[in-house]
Chains A and B, each alone.
Chain A
């Protein structure tokens, strides 16, 4: 699994690729936390559209980061295209915390109007 980071203004975009399971959850958590420490970050987009697999371990990674982003007054959004991954996210009730969007533009718009 790999996570790449890009910035758009004060929004950090974390693009996941490969497989996100319990084995890679800690790695993902630490990498994102490291980026969050950078003062410019306010909002975070979790781009899951390049993941080929995710189980419920991914929910813990996202919800844990959500809590930290909220503490600093920011918001989060998810980009998801895979039906199965979207279903796992929906089952967890994560939609109550952040929107699930089809692409980056929608995610940026959702954050702008949050």
Chain B
């Protein structure tokens, strides 16, 4: 399926950019006119993915995070990728409450929250090369609208 609109953003893995990234994603997606509830779902999921890239991908060193947002008729796809350390075992990383950084008070709920607020979460990763998280969501509120 061809996207009807697309945008790309690159930013430094600074924690202050977590809010920046989720606000930009929400602003772009709001063109589709989903409900505030659906927009908030997107914001939360983007925040989780970007936070993961900062803490786990780059381990608080500075690197570039790329975010690509694609709009379809009634859905959105958001890709967040880093060139950081990558994930050895994706299945394990996605388990609720699994965290590699308990000392930093990370709850291990990031992927669970993404999965709960979006329809689909896809993760590809290569140790030493980086991680890409693809979040997609269909906006049910747009069904029936032309």
Interface residues, chain A, CB within 8 Å of chain B? 19, 21-23, 25, 29, 53, 55-57, 59-61, 63-64, 83-84, 87-88, 91-93
Q: How many residues of B contact A (CB 8 A)?
A: 27
B14-45 vs A: 1/0 string, CB under 8 Å? 01101100100000000000000100110110
C-alpha gap A61/B51 in the complex (Å): 15
C-alpha gap A61/B107 in the complex (Å): 9
C-alpha gap A88/B96 in the complex (Å): 12
Q: Return the chain A residue nearest B17 by Cβ.
A: A23
Which of chain B's residues have a CB closer than 8 A to the CB of A22?
15, 18, 51, 54-55
Q: A55-B44, A55-B48, A56-B48 are in contact. Are A91 and B109 (CB under 8 A)?
A: yes
Interface contact B19-A55, CB-CB below 8 Å: no
C-alpha gap A92/B48 in the complex (Å): 14
Q: Which of B106-120 contact A (CB under 8 A)?
A: 106-107, 109-110, 112-113, 116-117
